[in-house]
Structure 1
Amino acid sequence: MQLYVIRRPSAWADLAELEAAGAKSARIGNEEMADQVRWIRSYVVHEPDGRIGTFCVYEARDGEAIREHARRVGMPGEEFYPVATTVIVRPDPVEAVPA
């Protein structure tokens, strides 16, 4: 499988809507398309229009698998890019958990 970054601009009105879409995305990926797509992580962003967008990292068999997964979930899936390489300067920050 190839690593991809998927851009989903202004796809959700708020974080609750995104959470519902994320649950459906995980279920479809894990149960219906496990041999075709694998969700790795997402970076959630506040868009200039006040909506929520994401940059998602997926492993996928090919671009058609990304499109099909997005179609089944009901979310954008046309703006994606194969990852050429990864440069890690520092690991992602981790939020401190209160004791």
Structure 2
Amino acid sequence: MVPHPGQDPSFESSKPSTPPPDTSNPDTAHPRSQYQINKEHYPSKRSYSQRQLDQIAKVQAELQRVKEECKALEMYVYQLEEEREWLRYILRGDG
């Protein structure tokens, strides 16, 4: 390479002969910030919110199941009360 006017002719030879940094590995190419490190170790707010929503959905499903079971038990109790009244009627001899 030809030196520019006024440039020392030995300029090219005085450059250090170190190779450029290896950018093939992202861990060595760019040092990671503390934010990136923390992001790996601590769940994000989005995942926390998603876990909360998942938990709410589970609780709502369980609540619905319990409501349906309660309704079925109420119907069963009503049937038993009706049967009891029918048996009392028969036992009194009015039938």
TM-score by length of 2: 0.22
Larger Rg: 2
More strand by share: 1
Higher RCO structure (Cα 8 Å, ≥6 apart): 1
